[in-house]
Amino acid sequence: MADGFVVARGWRAGLNWLRNVPVADEVDRRNAPTLLVVLLMLAVFPPLTWLYRALFSGVPWRPAEFGAMLGSLGLSLLAAVCILLIRRGRFQLALRLLLGAVAVLLMDAYASQGLAANRFEAPIQVVWLVIAGLMAGRHVLWLLYLWMAVAFAIGCWHDARAATNPDPSLALAVDAVISMLIFLFIAIVVDRSSVALRESLASARARGDELAQAKTRLEAEVVERERLYNQLVHSQKVEAVGRLAAGVAHDFNHLLTLVLGYAARGMAADGEEPMRAALAGVESAARRASAVSRKLTNFSHRGNAVPETFDVNTALAEMQPMLHQLFGPDVRLAFEPAPLAQDIRMDRSEFELVVLNLAANANTAMPDGGRFTIAVQARPSARVALSFNDSGRGMDEAVRQRVFEPFFTTSADGQGSGLGLAVVGEIVSVCGGSLDVDSAPGRGTTFHITLPLAVAAADTSGEMPRAVNA
């Protein structure tokens, strides 16, 4: 197990050594591992072969072997130098030195031994041709092929001089031409393959550059769009603040109408009790104004409500004087309480704000007067239903579908913020209730609110209802 781990680790280290070469050109960097393997074989195997020949073969040395040994060992030394050059990033220099040395040795072999003696070296010569075409380029490929063609011709001339046959020239020439044609075919295939590979790589590089530029442009567009989006959000926030301010002014206008009405009543009052009643009305309207301000200011972030348990019938009955003050004299008010007490648990100021918003909406819908009715009915499953009906002009289906949207209003500019019914919907939803509207043009509008009773709220929250504050 340990030996296998060491072998695997050494194998990975060897592969990393072959791949991690400091060569700038991408094609050369991909070809470097293959050339390093060839150079390592040239640097290692010939010296080992000659070492075996000198020490262990037992065959006597022939005079011609010394020259062959010197050439082979010289090539091995050159291969070692080329390895160092590649490890220093000089890939093309190492490749050209190697091919140059191979060309010199090839020419020497054909000049000294002839064409026939080197016939079995043809596969190795094809390898050098392929390496030249794939790694050095088509110019080096065709230069090496022409060099080989000249070497074949010289080898043919050498064999013709050494032949015993009186007329061998034609056969030797045919043999040389066939060798040249075979190598020409190989050179053409290698040339077209290398050109196609390099063109494909160039196209891929160009496409990569285009993608990089597109990415840069896209990133710039994203930054610009984010900047524009932030500007849009900022402008929407400014617009929302303006609408909120208009909404506060609009809703406060209703409350100020109440305050002024109670103040006028107090000024005209004759006696202490009417004065107390007028001041109580002013205080109640001011308290509701505080609730309006708090709710509008914290519309998107619910504030700290103060829930209490109170009877819906009692709360609505106590609001009747304020509602009479809110509506004009041409609007008739009707209140239909439930037969029994209907205790709910919520912030009473928010409950009164719901009623006040619905009443103000009804008052706007009845500019020529009409009837506004509030009815309370007990419902199954510990719930209570409240209905607020006006005899105003009503709403079509398109308006009814959007009536609870924030900032949606059918009022003229400056006369409504579009927040009143949105506030009502939020308050009812947070209290666990439901809100619906029934309306049609010319038939008036009825808002239906269903709220859980205090017993159900206590069961849900785990708290006991608290007594109504005195």
> How does residue 1 score in pLDDT terms, banded at 50, 70 and 90?
low
The percent of residues in the chain predicted with pLDDT above 70, rounded, is: 81
Measured at the CA of 214, the angle between CA 208 and CA 217, to 5 degrees, comes to: 145
> How does residue 243 score in pLDDT terms, banded at 50, 70 and 90?
low
pLDDT at 315: 93
pLDDT at 314: 94
Of 8 and 372, the one with more pLDDT = 372
pLDDT at 302: 46
pLDDT at 147: 92
Distance CA 214, CA 112 (A): 61
pLDDT at 197: 76
Measured at the CA of 396, the angle between CA 395 and CA 399, to 5 degrees, comes to: 75
* Cβ neighbours, 10 Å, residue 223: 10
Distance CA 252, CA 71 (A): 107
> How does residue 414 score in pLDDT terms, banded at 50, 70 and 90?
very low
Q: For the residues 212-236, what does the mean pLDDT come to? A: 81
pLDDT at 165: 54
pLDDT at 169: 64
pLDDT tens digits for 297-317? 554 444 456 789 999 999 999
Amino acid of residue 318? E
In the chain, the N- to C-terminal Cα span, in Å, equals: 87
The full set of domain ranges for the chain reads 2-218, 310-461
Cα torsion 193, 198, 201, 207: sign: negative
Using CA atoms of 413, 416, 417, 418 in order, give the dihedral in degrees to the nearest 10: -110
pLDDT tens digits for 85-106? 998 989 889 989 988 988 988 8
Residue that the structure tokens 């439930």 belong to:
338
pTM value is: 0.44
Read off the tokens for 374.
Answer: 């509030």
> How does residue 246 score in pLDDT terms, banded at 50, 70 and 90?
low
Q: For the residues 420-438, what does the mean pLDDT come to? A: 86
Read off the tokens for 103.
Answer: 């060309």
Of 178 and 4, the one with more pLDDT = 178
Distance CA 376, CA 386 (A): 5
CATH superfamily of 310-461: Histidine kinase-like ATPase, C-terminal domain (3.30.565.10)
Structural Rg of the chain based on CA atoms: 51
**CB 376 within 8 Å of CB 385:** yes
DSSP state of 453: B
Q: Mean pLDDT of all residues in the chain? A: 80
